[in-house]
């Protein structure tokens, strides 16, 4: 069964494919990109962000993806006087995607932009390691995302079912 992306999601997939990374099928394909320097490690925390325990994704991204995550986080931290947001998902293989589909009906059927190493999710209900609705922080985060979206650096979607922003870095 072939699943066509929605009009909202298609730019994410197109951007994901623009980095020259082939569809990540399994751990072996991720290891190949790590070994040849095309994927960079995402630290567990940095200025403005924390990465939660990842059960269905891996803390590796293309260099531009890592850089944009760090820029978004630093700008968010600056605009909120040192607060942090939580990264809830990063790079996924097709195997990871299948496992995730079993517990998250919102996960893409078929291919996701996460399968190319340049998409990540940021929770909009977890700030400073506290799970709690915080409209002020959510608004500040969306303002930062809108800034980078308008600058042509990212695409983002607000995923209400998963309480996160899905961000795909563009190959600018």
65-122, pLDDT tens digit by residue? Answer: 999 999 999 999 999 999 999 999 999 999 888 777 777 665 656 688 999 999 999 9
Query: Is the separation of the CB atoms in 77 and 84 below 8 Å?
Result: yes
- The architecture in CATH of the region 10-169 reads 2-Layer Sandwich (3.30)
Q: Which of 96, 102, 86 lies closest to 58 in space, CA to CA?
A: 96
Model's pTM, two decimal places?
A: 0.92
125: region left, alpha or beta (phi > 0 left; psi from -120 to 50 alpha):
alpha
> What is the domain partition of the chain in residue ranges?
10-169
4-62, pLDDT tens digit by residue? Answer: 667 788 999 999 999 999 999 999 999 999 999 999 999 999 999 999 999 999 999 99
């Amino acid at each position: 069964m072939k699943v066509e992306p929605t009009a909202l999601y298609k730019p994410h997939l197109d951007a994901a494919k623009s980095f020259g990374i082939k569809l990540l099928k399994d751990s072996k394909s991720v290891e190949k990109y790590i070994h040849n320097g095309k994927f960079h490690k995402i630290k567990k925390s940095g200025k403005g962000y924390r990465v939660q325990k990842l059960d269905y994704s891996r803390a590796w991204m293309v260099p531009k993806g890592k850089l944009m995550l760090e820029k978004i986080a630093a700008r968010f931290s600056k605009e909120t006087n040192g607060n942090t947001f939580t990264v809830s998902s990063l790079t996924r293989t097709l195997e990871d995607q299948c496992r995730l589909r079993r517990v998250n009906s919102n996960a893409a059927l078929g291919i996701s932009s996460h399968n190319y190493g340049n998409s990540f999710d940021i929770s909009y209900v977890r700030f400073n390691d506290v799970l709690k609705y915080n409209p002020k922080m959510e608004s500040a985060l969306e303002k930062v995302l809108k800034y980078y979206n308008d600058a042509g650096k990212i695409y983002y979607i607000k995923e209400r079912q998963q309480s996160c922003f899905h961000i795909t870095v563009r190959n600018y």
